[in-house]
Chains A and B, each alone.
Chain A
């Protein structure tokens, strides 16, 4: 039996993936099933996943998309044997579900802010990172999409983002020595700058505390989130999210600094979990030919999504997954219908035009052919052309009409 494949986004920052949900899935598989039963595949290809996002699990011919679905699939496959939450009480399971949504809701904007929206980090680290593993045209689309998504996720933090940006741009402001005597503002603004820096830092700290205080409170002195002796799914999720705040080396490392200064308990907890949950010796596999992110299937996906992206189809959420495909198919069938209709009308018009103007055409051709300038192909019967070349417009076939030449325009 071939091992299960876990398809994720590429490794980055010394971690096995750049995406928190993918890291959580890696942590889950590492703690739930033996190392030799699964391999990690960096396919970076979202089209393979049934829910359109990574992580995705491939078991033979079956595909499972998303962390939650992967967790329940592994439970049912092993009939509860690899249920890492089996020691939890019912209430704790209910809490686990609630904390899952809490972690995603509060931590994802922080991760997005740190890696994507803080412009210094995005320009210097995260954006170049995508170019290292994506090929030419794709490396412009995917990071752009991820960045746009991060911006929408952090839309409620606009003023904070502005403050971070202002702080970053300050050292870049040109302070010309020639005007140093005239502009004394450099000295007077310093205390204010410092104050601003402190308030930004305090606000960032509050943002992190908003997420980490409940976690810290729950964690107490335990080794794991729900106590016990082994990690649960919540531990996996926390490792996935917090390690992206803690481990990347970033030019604007506010997340890391605040974590280390203010939340030593959380840092110790993640450091303790990392060797078990994100072990260094994960077996890597190569994606199958059909699962690879190639230019071909990337173009196919962009093409299929184009009705939505260009606003031809209004947004909608169908009841079932299949609804998305039928909707798109229906659109393309409609487009084909319209194109077909246009072609039919075009060919009828072309036929009419050619059969009535045929005489003039032939005369014209004879006239110009004598000069030997135009027309290399001589066709006698114009009716033939119209019948065989259906939708082709009347003039283009075989250059029967005077061919436009750029030289003629030069007046030589």
Chain B
């Protein structure tokens, strides 16, 4: 097997079978009884078009290091997410991506972001993290479902997990954020037609702004949002928009009570995963220019001073000015 990857025409399986142009003496072999016309020979004389570099030999066991012992300092972590920028300190416009981006920042893991879309993800959903280090050639891919675990293993000294993710209160309030708050987010951004056309569709379809595609993707996203709301409501019938907003404001009230006068949720000394979770929604609701019916929930959220203060604390410490993100 040749170490070189070359592109040969189908007619000739090996390069030495190509007769040099202009030579007519190779009549002895039975193959040359047939001579291709001159223009075909001229065409094929251009091949191979590209000669790829030589493949490296397979990795040896000396080079192989188990993932846990790998030096994470020299590696580059890239978070593939819905974002406009490769700068890790500019917030993503998708709550799920922003949550992990924030949590990685909280845990002091340096990242850069990469604008991407669902088709790039091995699991079909963003965000996912790709770790590539100079010392070894294998890129590691971590989907969002395994990210919490990976962060636990790779977080630098001095950063600790401040939230017990098995605790009942954490899980209860998490279900509140993932239920009522998420529904309101989906309704305001995907179902309300004014925000869908002015904000959501341009943001998510910016890589492919060709005419029918944003419209089609927009209606698909809208349908997906409706299905998500249907799934999260406990009754078989769909709620109305006003009911969704009322529930979200009740949820923000509960979150505001939970935070109280503390700096971080659950009275922790340092920010944790739940802070990232809440921040992902509050930051986007407060900083995206949400129009239409969504204004109700934004105005309502602004009235909870401690939640707004919590959002500002995280923004100032880990992110660049919010204005830079959305203009």
Contact = CB atoms under 8 A, between A and B. Distances in A.
Interface string B217-232: 0000001001101011
A149 B241 contact: no
A394 to B, nearest CB: 44
B237 interface: yes
Contacts of A90: 257
Interface stretch (B56-64, B85-93, B122-130, B164-172): B164-172
Interface string B254-267: 11011010000000
Interface stretch (A97-105, A118-126, A242-250): A97-105
A95 B169 contact: yes
Interface string A326-361: 000000000000000000000000000000000000
Contacts of B231: 152-153
A405 to B, nearest CB: 51
A53 B175 CA distance: 22
Given A52-B237, A316-B226, A317-B229, A105 B179 contact: yes
A218 B180 CA distance: 23
A98 B229 CA distance: 18
B23 interface: no
B293 A319 contact: yes
B84 interface: no
A315 B231 CA distance: 14
A93 interface: yes
Contact of A317 (B166, B173, B191, B258): B191
A204 B237 CA distance: 29
A153 B231 CA distance: 7
Interface string A25-48: 000000000000000000000100
B238 A317 contact: yes
Q: What's the dominant secondary structure at chain A's contact region?
A: helix
A51 interface: yes
B253 interface: yes
A91 interface: yes
B250 interface: yes
B223 A98 contact: no
B176 interface: yes
Contacts of B167: 214, 217
A320 B234 contact: no
A317 B242 CA distance: 10
A183 B243 CA distance: 62
B175 A102 contact: yes
A315 B227 CA distance: 9
Interface size classification for chain A = 35 or more
Nearest to B193: A316
A3 interface: no
Q: What's the dominant secondary structure at chain B's contact region?
A: helix
A318 B179 CA distance: 19
Contacts of B232: 105
Interface in A45-80: 46, 51-53, 66
Contacts of A320: 240-242
B240 A99 contact: no
Nearest to B237: A52
A101 B175 contact: yes
Interface string B102-130: 00000000000000000000000000000
Contacts of A215: 168
B236 A214 contact: no
A66 B254 contact: no
Contacts of A53: 235-237
Contacts of A105: 175, 178-179, 232
A106 B242 CA distance: 25
Contacts of A94: 253-255, 257-258
B169 A98 contact: yes
Interface centre among A21, A98, A215 (most CB of B within 10 A): A98
Interface size classification for chain B = 35 or more
A386 B187 CA distance: 54
Nearest to B245: A319
B112 to A, nearest CB: 33
A149 B240 CA distance: 19
A97 B240 contact: no
B167 to A, nearest CB: 7
A106 B240 contact: no
Contacts of B168: 99, 102, 213-215, 217-218
B199 to A, nearest CB: 18
Interface in A93-140: 93-95, 97-99, 101-102, 104-106, 108
Contacts of A46: 236-237
A323 interface: yes
Contacts of A170: none
A319 B172 contact: no
A315 B237 contact: no
Nearest to B187: A317
B241 A318 contact: yes
B15 interface: no
B19 interface: no
B169 A318 contact: no
Nearest to B247: A68
Interface string A289-322: 0000000000000000000000000111111110
B239 interface: yes
A145 interface: yes
A64 to B, nearest CB: 13
A324 interface: yes
B176 A52 contact: no
Contacts of B255: 94
Contacts of A213: 166, 168
A97 B236 contact: no
Interface centre among B168, B226, B232 (most CB of A within 10 A): B168
Interface string B8-19: 000000000000
B251 interface: yes
B176 A319 contact: no
Given A317-B229, A317-B241, A149 B172 contact: no
A338 to B, nearest CB: 24
20 contacts: A21-B234, A51-B237, A91-B257, A91-B260, A94-B253, A94-B255, A94-B257, A94-B258, A97-B254, A98-B169, A98-B175, A99-B168, A101-B172, A101-B179, A152-B231, A214-B167, A215-B168, A316-B226, A317-B229, A317-B238
In order of increasing CB-CB distance, the 3 nearest A-B pairs are A214-B168, A52-B237, A53-B235
Given A21-B234, A215-B168, A316-B226, 19 more contacts: A51-B237, A53-B237, A91-B257, A94-B255, A94-B257, A94-B258, A97-B254, A98-B172, A99-B168, A101-B175, A101-B251, A146-B236, A149-B236, A316-B191, A317-B191, A317-B239, A317-B244, A319-B240, A321-B240
